[in-house]
Amino acid sequence: MDSKTLKLVLSNLLIIFAIATRFLPHPPNFTAVIAVGIFAGFLFKNKIFAYVLPIIAMIASDLILGFHSTIWAVYFALILAAIIGSQIKKANIGNVALSSLISAVIFFIITNFAVWMSGIMYPNNIAGLISCYISGIPFFGYTLLSAMIYSLILFELYSLAEKYILSRNINKQLQ
């Protein structure tokens, strides 16, 4: 399998994986979408594609789950997660964990701010903003945990696949 075909297969698998985690039973905000954004940003040289990949997964699943008035904030935060992933130069546990932490915090800040700005659930004043962020804390825990776990899984699986492909190529050359 050539590199281009492998990346096409991986991109489709990432989209399917992200969608599946949105439909499987899960705690609120415990999906792989942020991790897919981070990983896509790291993996794909075509950064526009990497930034759009988690959005494709979201739109595909939102067609069934439904859209809401602050979906733009979710999509924007996911694009930022992919941009953060594109800054990872060396995939190690520290860089992946840090990228997951930063992406989860940004997601929390942006999406809760959008909820507050909508004026539907909280008054548009400082007390409402504070209340909105406090109410979002339990969701943040799930967001952070899922970003960390799914990112580490994706990066580790990719590392194992790279080692497997490399060892197969070396064995072919030795024969």
Distances (CA, A) of 9 to 16, 70, 141, 145, 162: 11, 31, 32, 27, 14
Q: How far does Cα 34 stand from its chain's mean position?
A: 2
- pLDDT attached to residue 1: 63
Q: Write out pLDDT tens, residues 60-79.
A: 999 999 999 999 999 999 99
Q: pTM of the entire structure? A: 0.92
| Domain boundary assignment for the chain | 3-174
Average confidence (pLDDT) over 116-140: 97
Distances (CA, A) of 82 to 33, 67, 128, 133, 142: 10, 21, 30, 24, 19
Report whether 74 contacts 31 (CB < 8 A). Answer: no
Report whether 36 contacts 17 (CB < 8 A). Answer: yes
Top-tier CATH class for 3-174 = mainly alpha
Q: Write out pLDDT tens, residues 15-49.
A: 999 999 999 999 999 999 999 999 999 999 999 99
- Alpha carbons 11 and 74: distance in angstroms, whole number: 20
- Alpha carbons 136 and 166: distance in angstroms, whole number: 44
- Alpha carbons 144 and 157: distance in angstroms, whole number: 20
- pLDDT attached to residue 161: 83
